[in-house]
Structure 1
Amino acid sequence: MPKSLTTSEPNVLRPEDFDPPLKRKEPIVPYYWTLDEIATELGVTSRRVGYDITGYPPRKIQPSLKAYKAGSLFLVPDADALAYIQRFRERKKS
């Protein structure tokens, strides 16, 4: 939903704003997305999403997604994950 020009409220993405709707129903970790959840949502491998988090110098891929490392998991905050999913979907449409 675009931000109105007359109000100062921030533009916040919500799961219900997506078309087609998101596949994820229940989060594994509340308020965070895991690598596998994002990869499933986008239909790509978790390695591809991992490269967007950590980067991959041999292929000149720069990190474009911030995540927290918790043990062997990467956790992406809801707002960052939704923005990444939206960017990925828009890039695929073009």
Structure 2
Amino acid sequence: MSNSLTTLEHNVLRPEDFDPPLKRKKATIPGYWTVEEIAEELGVTARKIQYDIKGNPQLKKSSPKLKAYRIKLAFLVPDIDALEYIWNYREKKKKF
């Protein structure tokens, strides 16, 4: 998240900050989220999350919205990036 105007520390999202609370209780891989965990949390398909990571070749969009590490056939998203992505997705959904 962005830097606060009153402090020099970055604002970091924590799982306790979410309302409604996150569905994920225990991490499969500590410190990381899998594509399937993010998809389940948001109620979307894993393919949509993969498109946000790699881009959509059919639409010729190659700009990623989510940073992830590729380990063989799986993508792992760091906790901080995953929480920010989930927060932004929920906020965007609230507007509509």
**TM-score for the superposition, normalised by structure 2:** 0.89
Residue ranges of structure 1 left out of the alignment (5+ in a row) = none
Instruction: Determine if the alignment matches structure 1 residue 48 to structure 2 residue 48.
Output: yes
Sequence identity of aligned pairs in percent?
62
Residue ranges of structure 2 left out of the alignment (5+ in a row) = none
Q: What CA distance in whole angstroms lies between the structure 1 residues aligned with 2:93 and 2:8?
A: 31
Paired residues for 1:17-56 under 5 Å: 17-56=17-56
**TM-score for the superposition, normalised by structure 1:** 0.90
Q: What CA distance in whole angstroms lies between the structure 2 residues aligned with 1:32 and 1:70?
A: 12
Instruction: Determine if the alignment matches structure 1 residue 12 to structure 2 residue 12.
Output: yes
- Paired letter, 1:74: F
Instruction: Give the SS at the match of 1:48.
Output: helix
Question: What is the aligned partner in structure 2 of residue 76 from structure 1?
Answer: 77
Q: What CA distance in whole angstroms lies between the structure 2 residues aligned with 1:71 and 1:4?
A: 37
- Paired letter, 2:48: R
Q: What CA distance in whole angstroms lies between the structure 1 residues aligned with 2:67 and 2:11?
A: 19
CA spacing shift, 1:3–1:21, aligned 2, 3 Å: farther
Q: What is the root-mean-square deviation of aligned Cα atoms in Å?
A: 1.6
- Paired letter, 2:92: R
Of 59-68 and 36-45, deviating more is 59-68
